Amino acid sequence: MDATDRTIDALELARRLVRIDTRGGDERAAADLVAGVLDSAGFEVRVDEPEAGRANVVARRGPAVPRVPVTLTGHLDTVPADPSGWSFDPLGGEVRDGRLLGRGSSDMKAGVACQLAAAVDAAAAAPDRPLQLVFTFGEETGCDGAARLDPASLVPADLLVVAEPTANRTVLGHKGTLWLRATARGVSAHGSRPELGRNALAALAAAATRVHGHRGWPVSPTHGPVTVNVGTFRAGVQPNLVPDHAEMGLDVRTIPGFGSDEAVAEIAELCGPEVEIERLVDLPGVATDPASPGVARVLELLAPGASAREPEYATYFTDASVLTAMLGDPAVVIYGPGDPEQAHVTDESCSVRRIDEAAAAFRRLLGAH
């Protein structure tokens, strides 16, 4: 394909991306595919590989200006998928009964493909119109790739559009994300004389129960309730040894007015003074005001009628948590063809109809900016 070819097939590009194995890493091959598409369309493309096999792509076209009107972004990694539990090949990229099948089809390679298809079209139609695209590695594990971007490689933007799965609904932000490790330390002893030790497992299990059962988390009128999930628990070596060390992992979703500092303080109080709390991932929430200048127009271009609906905010996190600061605090809209309920599931799939709709919506947006 050369720069005069105005149209690429978003579905076929999504199939190619699904067939590239980026389960938990090795995004370089997908980055090279994305970079090749954009380079052929006349974009200035930069591929950075800060870790072996893991790469970010930043592409830009149009004159250098203080800000670009639009930055499109998506991630190239997917969560793992064990083929033994699937009814089809998770890397097959098959289309069946109007759905694209495979790991990453909804989260979020179809969204990336739609953005690329629209960007190629926009570059051919208006080569001097500024446009920036950012595709990252390691989003699923805490926006690792976005955090490794060189801010100097990015131009500030007025609007950031994230192609995470929304079933083609416009979403104006999401909760913050806080991953914690809670550690209890005890004293080891023989299992037949537990009174001589101090059981770290029992202490942390009691703390986990208090956290899990807590019902006093605040609720935001826009983002909904704070949620806390006890996701991992590790302790003990064998039954006849009192465990002297125990760890649990917590996933906290924060809201405006109750951020990570407030969450850590509340969880520390629930766990008690003998439990150590360590932050592993701390990503701020995102909230775009629907009344901000230009936002209603963007919503209408992506999904006609969206500006008249109550604004929606997602429970999951996105790279916007990291990119907004790098891009000069743009308005953020999350919009993509993937089905939110398909993210991370066995036998993941995505509606072909929604892929076509999303590609057309991105073309409308870029044509107007």
CA 144/CA 113 separation, integer angstroms: 21
Catalytic hit among 77, 121, 140, 244: 77
CA 248/CA 196 separation, integer angstroms: 24
Coil, strand or helix at 89: coil
- Known catalytic residue at 319: no
* Burial class for 221, CB neighbours closer than 10 Å (0-12, 13-18, 19+): exposed
Beta-sheet pairing, 68-75 with 131-136: parallel
Residue in 49, 73, 115 with CA at minimum distance from that of residue 318:
73
Cβ contacts of 297 within 8 Å, gap of 6 or more: 307, 368
DSSP string computed for 239-251: TTB---EEEEEEE
CB atoms under 10 Å from CB of 305, counted, come to: 9
- Known catalytic residue at 139: yes
The residue type found at 49 is E
CA 311/CA 290 separation, integer angstroms: 7
247, 182 in Cβ contact below 8 A?
Answer: yes
Coil, strand or helix at 186: coil
Catalytic hit among 107, 121, 139, 266: 139
* Burial class for 286, CB neighbours closer than 10 Å (0-12, 13-18, 19+): buried
Coil, strand or helix at 80: coil
Would you please indicate which residues are annotated as catalytic (active-site) residues? Answer: 77, 139
